[in-house]
Structure 1
Amino acid sequence: MTLYLLAFFGFLVLGVPIAFSLGLASLTYLVVNGQLMLLMAFPQKMIAGIDNFVLLTIPFFILAGNLMGAANLTQQIVRFAQILVGRVKGGLAAVNIIASMMFSGVSGAATAEASALGSVMIPAMRRDGYNPAYAAALTATGSLLGPLVPPSLSLILYGVLTGTSIADLFLAGIVPAFLLCGLLITYALWKARREDHPLPPVMPKSERPGVIARALPALLLPVIIVGGIRSGVFTPTEAAAVAALYALLIGTVIYRSLSPRQVVNSFYETATMSAGVMLVVAMASMTSFILGIENIPQSIAAALLSLTDSPLFLLILLNIILLVLGFFLEPLAALILAMPILNQLAPVIGLDPVQFGVMIVFNLMIGMITPPVGLCLFIVSAIGRVPLDQVSRAALPLIGICLVVLALVGLVPALSLTLPALIGN
């Protein structure tokens, strides 16, 4: 296994994309160890890794998010958030976070959210006198709300890997997302008073009904997704297709901001993004196969259990390991690689699979706002034209808030299990 890890990190250092680094490391392992017969299993395992009907939800939800973005949805959500916040000191920072929460129900991906909202909110906050590094860090942290609420791509993948109900996972992430949103707003308002941040501009009362009317169709998307799945009207895969069709209809009929060229571009971007996700899943499946050959999951689980048999200490240790893993790997790849080990430890820790999934996904997502592979940090740094080290320093208190929410998700089952239990099967 040491050979595999050295090859993997060696390819990463050389700048090879993570999907190809996973595949090349697997190939290196098989060749050097003389297991050439297993090379025939390489394409078979790759195909088997993505041969799952539920994975069709990913390209459909990506398409829905791209169509919504092309329809200029971001501006509608930001203006609606301004109505909710009103005129308070530091209100634009609160608008940033609330808009992130609303946009989460459309994108399902942290990187898409950081890019879409960052292009609007970071320049606006800079113009109002906010520190650009703080504006960028706040946008990056707010983007973590995306993977917690439907249609979260990471929760879908966890559901596919473990057989957990995707509808329950969608519901389970909502309360932790609202908790994170509330704590980030509290911090932003406290910082505003401490550093005398400016008041946001007043929106004329005559414009408010129109803003609300234009924002509501987009905000209904997560309700349609979860409500349709939970009521049994359609499956998760069908829900994704309905979401894409709904996004196309409101973009062309209600907003009338989607041109044929934008629709074609949205399909093209969806194809490229979906191909990237599926390539990571396929390559990571081969890595999981190698882990199985070496009995690595069982060995790591046994090593951890030899340190302690306390579920609480195991939970803490597991979260620390996942946080470190998230520093270096993209969340989807890290999730696939970690699941064989996590499946060995889950019965000992004793968490409900739904709660366990929300905790794992949020843990790995924190890596999106931490160096050295924090994709959301790189995105907001480029948009705001702020050095990465400045954004990273500004993000430290916000990462602390995320860790508090992560601890609560792991220790308080009601946060993630109450909503699925209330709505029922």
Structure 2
Amino acid sequence: MTLYLIAFLGFMVIGIPVAFSLGLASLTYLVINDQTHLLIGFPQKMIAGIDNFVLLTIPFFILAGNLMNSADLTRQIVRFAQLLVGRVQGGLAAVNVVASMMFSGVSGAATAEASAIGSVMIPSMRRDGYAPEYAAALTAAGSILGPLVPPSLSLILYGVLTGTSIADLFLAGIVPAFLLCGLLIVYVLVKARREGHPLPPEVSKEERRGLALKALPALLLPVIIVGGIRSGIFTPTEAAAVAAVYALAVGTMLYRTLSLRKILAAFYETATMTAGVMLIVAMASMTSFILGIENIPQAIAAQLLQISSSPWVLILLLNGVLLVLGLFLEPLAALVLAMPILNEIFPLLHIDPVQFGIMVVLNLMIGMITPPVGLCLFIVSAIGQVSLEKVARAVLPMIGICLIILTLVAFVPFLTLALPLFFKG
């Protein structure tokens, strides 16, 4: 396995994309270990990795998010968030967090949220006198709300890989997401009073009347998704298709901001993003095959038991490993890569699979905003035109807040299981 890891990191260092690095590392392992006879099964393993009907949800949800974003929904959400927050000191920073929470029900991915919210909020906060690194760091921290609520792509993939109910996972992430949102708002308001941040501009009375109506269709999207799945009206895959049709209808008939060119661009972006996701899943399937040959999952589980048999200690160790993994890998790739190992460790933890799924995904999301490699940090640094080092320093207190929520998710089952149990009820 050491050979595989060296090959994988080597390909990553020389600039080869993650998906191809995974595949090439598997190929290198088989060739050097004189197991070339297994190469004939390489394409079959790749196809088997993506041969799952529920994976169809991913392109449909990506399409829904792209269509909503193309319909200028981000700006509508930001203005409505400003109306909700009102005129308080540091209000524009609070608007950033609230807008991220509202946009979570559209994007489903942290990178999409960092790009969409960042392109609107970072320039606005800079114009109002906020430090650019603070504006960028806050946008990055808010971006991890997206993968915790429907239609989270990471939760969908976790559900596919483990057989866990996707509807339960969607419900389980809502309370942690709102808690994280609330703590971030408290942080920015306390910081505003301490550092004298400005008041946001007032929303005019004429604009207030239409803001709620303009933002309402976006806020209804996660309700339609979860409500439809939970009530049995449609399956997760059908819910994704309904979300895409809904986004298309809202953009063309209600907002009337979706031109044919924008629709075609959204379909093209969806196709390229979906191809990237599926390629990662397919290549990571070969990694799972290598792990199986070496019996790595069983070996790691045995090693952990030698360290401690306490579920609490094992959970802490696992969280540390996942945080580090999230530093270097995009969450979907990390999930496919880690799940064979996690499936062996999971029975030792004595926790619910839904709670475990939220814990795993939140870990990987925190990795995306953790210096020095977090992907969302690179995105917001580019948008804010500020050095990565400054953004990394500014985001550290917010990472502390995220770790508090992670600890609660890991050790307080009620936090994640209350809503799924209530709706089963």
Distance 2:353 2:67 in 1: 33
CA distance in 2, matches of 1:314, 1:166: 25
2: CA distance between counterparts of 1:300 and 1:95?
A: 44
Please give the alpha-carbon distance, in whole angstroms, between the structure 2 residues aligned to 1:284 and 1:372. Answer: 24
Q: Structure 1: how far apart are the matches of 2:327 and 2:272?
A: 25
Q: State the Cα distance separating 1:204 from its structure 2 match.
A: 1.3
Decide whether the 8 Å contact of 2:228 with 2:239 is kept in 1: yes
Aligned to 2:303: 303
Q: Which residue of 2 aligns with 1:420?
A: 420
Contact 1:329 1:373 in 2 (8 A): no
Task: Map residues 7-406 of structure 1 onto 2, 5 A cutoff.
Answer: 7-406=7-406
**Root mean square deviation, CA, Å:** 0.7
Partner Cα distance (1:8, 1:232) in 2? 43
For residues 128-151 of structure 1, what are the alpha-carbon distances to aligned partners after superposition, in whole Å with 9 as ceiling and x for unaligned? Answer: 000000000000010000000000
Separation (CA, whole Å) in 2 of partners of 1:80 and 1:24? 47
Contact 1:106 1:221 in 2 (8 A): yes
- Which whole-Å CA distance do the structure 1 matches of 2:177 and 2:360 have between them? 14
Aligned residues: 425
- Work out whether residues 171 and 420 of structure 1, in 8 Å CA contact, stay in contact via their aligned partners in 2: yes
Deviation of residue 344 (structure 1)? Answer: 1.0
For the Cα contact (< 8 Å) 1:100–1:145, is it kept in 2?
yes
Contact 1:90 1:198 in 2 (8 A): yes
| CA offsets 1:256-304 (integer angstroms, 9 cap, x no match) | 0000000000000000000000000000010000000000000011001
User: Could you tell me how far 1:370 is from its partner in structure 2?
Assistant: 1.5
Higher alpha-carbon deviation: 18-27 or 335-344? 335-344
Residue identity opposite 1:420 in structure 2 = P
TM-score norm. by structure 1 comes to: 0.99
SS in 1 for 2:258: coil
1:87–1:200: 8 Å Cα contact kept in structure 2? yes
Query: How many Å apart are 1:32 and its aligned residue?
Result: 0.5
Q: Distance in 2 between matches of 1:324 and 1:221?
A: 33
Q: CA separation in 2, counterparts of 1:354 and 1:422?
A: 14
Identity percentage over the alignment?
A: 77
Deviation at 1:209, TM superposition (A): 1.3
Q: Which residue identity does 1:162 align to in structure 2?
A: T
Cα distance in 1, alignment partners of residues 13 and 194 from structure 2: 42
- TM-score, normalised to structure 2, is 0.99
> Shift of residue 247 of structure 1?
0.2
Unaligned runs of 5+ in 1: none
Give the Cα–Cα distance (whole angstroms) in 2 for the partners of residues 419 and 205 of structure 1. Answer: 37
Q: Does 1:410 align with 2:410?
A: yes
Q: Provide the rounded CA distance (Å) in 2 between the counterparts of 1:407 and 1:116.
A: 29
Q: Which amino acid aligns with 1:401?
A: I
Unaligned residue ranges in structure 2 (runs of 5+): none
The one-character-per-residue Cα deviations of 1:33-59 (angstroms, maximum 9, x if unpaired) are 110110011110000000000000000
Contact persistence 2:149–2:173 (CA under 8 A): yes
Of 383-392 and 367-376, the range deviating more from structure 2 = 367-376
Residue 299 of structure 1 aligns to a residue whose secondary structure is: helix
Shift of 1:14: 0.3
Q: Shift of residue 342 of structure 1?
A: 1.0
**By how many angstroms is 1:371 displaced?**
2.8
Taking the aligned partners of 1:79 and 1:231, their CA distance within structure 2 comes to 32
Shift of 1:347: 1.1
Deviation at 1:327, TM superposition (A): 1.2
| 2:291–2:297 CA contact under 8 A, matched in 1 | yes
AA paired with 1:198? P
How far off its partner does 1:101 sit?
Answer: 0.3
SS at match of 1:401: helix
Deviation at 1:206, TM superposition (A): 2.1
> Deviation per CA, 1:209-251, whole angstroms, max 9, x where unpaired?
1111111011100000000000000000000000000000000
- Structure 2 counterpart of 1:351, which letter? I
Instruction: Encode CA deviations 1:54-107: one digit per residue, 9 max, x unaligned.
Output: 000000000000000000000100011011100000000000000000000000
Measure how far apart 1:373 and its partner are.
2.8
- Give the Cα separation in 2 of the matches to 1:341 and 1:79: 44
CA distance in 1, matches of 2:173, 2:103: 15
Q: For the Cα contact (< 8 Å) 1:330–1:373, is it kept in 2?
A: no
Distance 1:36 1:372 in 2: 37
State the secondary structure of the residue aligned to 1:167. helix
AA partner of residue 69 (structure 1): N
Letter in 2 for 1:241: A
